[in-house]
Amino acid sequence: MKVLSFAAVLRHARFRRVWCGQAASAVGDGITLVALPGAILTHHSTTDLGLVLGAQSLALVAAALVGGVLADRLRRASVMAADLVRLVTAVCFALGAARGPLPVAVLLAVVTGFAAGVFTPAFGALIPELVPDEDLPKVNALRSITVRTGQVLGPSLGGLLLTAGTADTAFWADAGTFAASAVTLVGAGGTRPVRTAGGTLLRQAREGFTAVRERPWVLTIIVQGTLQLLLVMAPVAVLLPIILEERGQFTAYGPLIALQALGSVVGGMAIAAWNPRRPGTVAVLALALLATQLACLVTAAPLVLLGASVVATGFGYAVFNVAWASALQRAIPAEMQGRVFAIDTIGTYGLQPVGLALAPVAATAYGNDPVLWVGLVALAATTVIPLFQRDVRLFASS
C-alpha cells in the first residue's frame, strides 16, 4: 500500500535502532504533555504554568546553537545522549518536585529544555547519515508519525494515570522511556563523519548564519515560525488547558492532545505518499489549519467541533514539519546541517517563551478572546505574505 511505503525505511539497520528508542521516548513525552500541566495546576497558579513552560522553551532555544556546533564536530548520536539529562529531570519530577516551591519546577524545566536544545539539531542532522537521500521524505514522515503516535498513546495513558493515581507515576514512566532512548543510541553513531567545522563557537555560528542568509527562503520560513510561535501557537498551547479548566472540562485535555497527535499521524502518512510540485505552498497552507482551533476556542464551540479542529491542526503541523525537514536536509551541506537546524530552532522558538509566559497574563488582563483574535489575524498575515516569494513556494533556491 503506497501510503504505508514510508515503513520500508526500517530496512536501514542503524536508523531502525535509533527509531526504536525514539518511539519509546515519544510515548513518554506524550505522558508528560498531560502530567506536567496537571501537576503544576494542582499545586500552583495558571500564571505559574506559563512560567514553567516558558522557562523550558527559553532553555531549549539557548542551548540549540551549542547543540548545533557539537553536532557538526562530534558523532551526532553521542550528542543525542543528552537524553540522559532528561532522564534525571523526569526522575526528579517523579519524586514530587512539582509539589515543592515553584523555583524548583522552573529549574528542572530549564535543565530539561537545555538538554532538548542540545538533542534536537543533532537528531535532525543525523538522519541523512542513516539513510540515502531518496528516503529522506519517508524517514521524516515516519519520524513525525512515530512522535505523534506517541502523543496519541501517551496523553491517553497519562490521563489514566492522573485519574487513577498521581502525576508522579506518569513521570516515572517518562523516565523509563528516556533510559530506553539512551540505550538504543549506543553504537548508532558509527564512525565520525568528515566535518569542516573548526575555530571558535562564534566563528562556527557565523558560518551557520551565512548559510541561512544565502538561502532567503530559509530565512523567511524561520521568521514566519518566530511570529507564529509568539502570537499564535504559544498562546493556544497555554490557553487550551486553562480554558478547559475554566469550563470544567479539563478531563478532555488529554484526549484532545491525543486527537491532535492522531491528526499528525494522518498528515505524516499523507505527505509521505505525496510529492507536491510546490511543497512550500502546501506546507505553509497546512499550518493555517490552526485557524480552525482558534475559531472553536473563540466561539466556545462544543467539544466535538474542538476535537475536529485539533485533528486538523495536527494534520497541518505534520505536513509542514516533514516537508520543511526534508527541504533543509537536501539544501544544506552535510557539514553545516547541525548548525542550520540549531539556527532554525533558535529563530523559530526564540520568542516562544515570551508567548508562553505572557499569554495567560494577557488573558487575565484583557480576556481570552482578544488574545485568540490577535492570533487569528497574525496567522492570516504570516500565511499569505511568505507565499509571495517563489522560493518559499518551492522550498528550494531557484
Where exactly are the structural domains of the chain?
2-394
Q: CA 334, 4, 394, 125: dihedral to nearest 10 degrees? A: -20
The pTM assigned to this predicted structure is: 0.72
**Which phi-psi region, left, alpha or beta, contains residue 75 (left: φ > 0; alpha: ψ -120 to 50)?**
beta
Angle formed by the axes of helices 234-246 and 368-384, nearest 10° = 150
pLDDT in tens, the chain (398 residues): 444 555 677 888 888 888 888 888 788 777 777 788 878 887 887 778 878 877 887 888 778 878 888 888 777 777 887 888 888 988 998 888 888 888 898 999 899 888 888 887 888 788 888 888 778 888 888 887 887 777 677 777 777 777 776 778 888 888 888 888 888 877 665 445 455 545 566 777 788 888 889 999 999 999 999 999 889 998 898 899 889 988 888 888 878 887 887 888 888 888 877 888 899 999 999 999 999 999 999 998 999 999 999 999 999 999 999 899 889 988 888 778 888 888 887 887 777 778 877 888 888 889 899 999 999 999 999 999 999 999 999 999 87
Q: How confident is the model at residue 1, as a pLDDT?
A: 41
Contacts of 328 (CB under 8 A, 6+ apart): 124, 218, 337, 340, 341, 344
Phi and psi dihedrals of 302, rounded to 5? -60, 160
Q: For residues 227 and 306, give the distance between their C-alpha atoms in angstroms, rounded to a whole number.
A: 24
- Output the pLDDT for position 312: 96
Nearest to 83 by CA among 240, 228, 188, 223: 188
Quote the radius of gyration of the chain (alpha carbons, Å).
20
Residue-level pLDDT at 201: 66
Residue 302, amino acid: P
CB 318 within 8 A of CB 263: yes
Q: What is the rounded CA–CA span in Å between residue 275 and residue 245?
A: 41
Backbone angles phi, psi at 345, to 5 degrees: -65, -45
Q: Among 279, 384, 61, 227, which residue's Cα sits nearest to residue 219?
A: 227
Q: Which residues contact 298 (CB under 8 A, 6 or more apart)?
A: 369, 372, 373, 376
Residues in the chain: 398
Phi, psi of 19 (to 5 degrees): -60, -40
* pLDDT recorded at residue 308: 95
How far CA 134 is from CA of 126, 131, 188, in Å, comes to 15, 8, 21
Assess contact for 265 and 148: CB atoms under 8 A.
yes
Please state which of the four CATH numbers 3.30.300.210, 3.40.50.1000, 1.20.1250.20, 3.40.50.880 is assigned to the domain occupying 2-394. 1.20.1250.20
For residue 152, with 0-12 CB atoms within 10 Å meaning exposed, 13-18 middle and 19 or more buried, which class applies?
Answer: buried
- DSSP annotation of 335 reads G
CA distance 160 to 162: 5
Residue 199: Cβ within 10 Å count: 9
Q: Extract the C-alpha cell encoding 129.
A: 547519515
Q: Tell me the C-alpha distance between 261 and 321, whole Å.
A: 13
